[in-house]
């Protein structure tokens, strides 16, 4: 049997496994010291009451013959697609329900959408970036091409000069790990570039709920022309704490096509071949996010994470460290002080602060010398984390 060589070649998730190992070793050697993690890329929950109520109701329906739901539409229930379309439209990005495809979380389709392009094609990815897309390229026989995201550009790279030699580009704004946010004008340059060169733009809007400045775009479809070249991926994970409940969506506009082939129909065909859709109960829970109570409750949870991020920002300011993000994002991306490497700073922070973060190099070679802090989690734990960070930095002086 000939195994998938791209799959075999995936380097192990070395950085994240190594973080776990180093923390375990430290805790074993220092049983009296309680480690605080600022490395978590997960929400702390719980799901809000509006979502829980809707899911309870849906479970009861599933328990009665006359309200039972079997296989649903592969594309997702219309009731949820209507809510998502209305929310995007209200935000200045007009979208129709037929253009929305519900999935069990963004990660599934970030990879799956790459099936739209021919194996062997090249995909442009920022470095550093969310690692899942790079791995997905390799598994699917696509070649990831790296686009350096550097401090001088505030980690917001623009299209590379010269003729493009790739077929798709993945952008995430607000970004993970850097928290950097593209402006409207910058995204307009990307959209024009993608249209002029017939490049598929995959836009990851998972962190759009953290944007607090209305001048910043929360959807790529706020940009003229984007409907002809861009797929947008959204998620309920960070919006409403669905990381363990699983729901997201992809948007494929009517106008999106390549050489006369409409991508929306092609994707519908792909989905009917690959999935039987997302659980009815979960889709009912996701739809409840758009009720007035759901909107209030999810906004409150996001406001808490943003408050946490402000606490971490204040700590980084007090420690006189350079950092990005944290304003429209749960992540703060800091430069390791004193020229330390990502791992050097990791070890220092663990030893002198009992703190855990994520070494920047885990997001690509371009992340070396940087470090990601996450504002997800309990506010009092985050406050303690901020104090420890400031105290630890005294040892470097």
Ligand X SMILES: *Cc1c(COP(=O)(O)O)cnc(C)c1O
> By the criterion CB under 6 A, which residues form the site for ligand X?
105-107, 130, 172, 176, 204, 206, 235, 237-238, 243, 248
Closer residue to ligand X in complex, CB, 203/348: 203
d(CA 59, CA 68): 9
Closer residue to ligand X in complex, CB, 13/317: 13
Closer residue to ligand X in complex, CB, 42/198: 42
Q: Tokens 């390549």 map to which residue?
A: 258
**Radius of gyration for the alpha carbons in the chain, expressed in angstroms and rounded:** 21
Closer residue to ligand X in complex, CB, 157/354: 157
> Closest approach of Cβ 27 to ligand X, in Å?
26
Nearest in space to 351 (alpha carbons), one of 37, 23, 15? 23
> Closest approach of Cβ 102 to ligand X, in Å?
12
Cis omega (within 30 of 0) for bond into 308: no
Neighbouring residues of 64: CB distance < 8 A, sequence distance ≥ 6: none
- Which residue in the shown chain puts its C-beta closest to ligand X? 105
Give SS3 for 234. strand
Do 129 and 146 touch, CB atoms closer than 8 A? no
d(CA 328, CA 330): 7
For residue 20, give the H/E element and its range. helix 14-29
> Closest approach of Cβ 259 to ligand X, in Å?
29
Neighbours of 394 (CB within 10 A): 9
d(CA 179, CA 372): 9
Closer residue to ligand X in complex, CB, 208/319: 208
> Closest approach of Cβ 201 to ligand X, in Å?
15
Closer residue to ligand X in complex, CB, 331/345: 331
> Closest approach of Cβ 347 to ligand X, in Å?
25
d(CA 40, CA 44): 9
> Closest approach of Cβ 86 to ligand X, in Å?
20
Closer residue to ligand X in complex, CB, 179/353: 179
> Closest approach of Cβ 106 to ligand X, in Å?
3
Do 104 and 278 touch, CB atoms closer than 8 A? yes
């Amino acid at each position: 049997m000939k195994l998938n060589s791209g799959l075999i070649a995936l380097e192990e998730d070395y950085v994240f496994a190594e973080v776990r190992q180093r923390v375990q070793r430290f805790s074993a050697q220092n049983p009296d010291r309680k480690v605080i993690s600022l490395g978590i890329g997960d929400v702390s929950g719980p799901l809000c009451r509006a979502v829980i109520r809707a899911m309870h109701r849906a479970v009861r329906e599933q328990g009665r013959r006359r309200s039972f739901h079997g296989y649903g539409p592969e594309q997702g229930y219309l009731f949820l697609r209507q809510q998502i379309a209305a929310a995007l439209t209200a935000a200045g990005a007009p979208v129709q329900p037929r253009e929305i495809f519900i999935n069990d979380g963004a990660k599934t389709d970030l990879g799956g959408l790459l099936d739209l392009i021919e194996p062997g094609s090249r995909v442009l990815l920022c470095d550093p970036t969310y690692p899942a897309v790079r791995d997905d390229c390799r598994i699917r026989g696509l070649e990831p091409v790296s686009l350096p995201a550097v401090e001088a550009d505030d980690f917001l790279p623009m299209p590379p000069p010269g003729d493009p030699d790739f077929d798709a580009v993945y952008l995430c704004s607000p970004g993970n790990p850097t928290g950097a946010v593209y402006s409207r004008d910058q995204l307009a340059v990307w959209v024009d570039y993608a249209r002029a060169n017939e490049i598929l733009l995959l836009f990851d809007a998972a962190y759009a709920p953290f944007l607090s400045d209305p001048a910043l775009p929360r959807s790529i479809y706020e940009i003229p022309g984007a409907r002809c070249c861009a797929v947008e991926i959204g998620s309920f994970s960070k919006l409403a704490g669905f990381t363990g409940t699983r729901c997201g969506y992809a948007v494929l506009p009517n106008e999106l096509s390549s050489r006369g082939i409409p991508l929306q129909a092609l994707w519908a065909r792909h989905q009917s071949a690959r999935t039987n859709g997302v659980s009815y109960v979960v889709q009912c829970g996701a739809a409840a996010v758009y009720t007035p109570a759901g909107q209030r409750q999810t906004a409150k949870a996001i406001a808490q994470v943003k408050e946490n991020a402000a606490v971490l920002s204040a700590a980084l300011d007090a420690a006189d460290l350079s950092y990005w993000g944290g304003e429209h994002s749960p992540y703060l991306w800091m430069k390791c002080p004193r020229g330390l490497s990502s791992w050097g700073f990791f070890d220092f922070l663990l030893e002198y602060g009992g703190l855990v973060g994520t070494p920047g190099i885990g997001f690509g070679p371009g992340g070396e010398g940087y470090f990601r802090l996450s504002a997800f989690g309990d506010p009092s734990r985050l406050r303690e984390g901020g104090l420890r960070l400031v105290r630890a930095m005294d040892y470097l002086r």
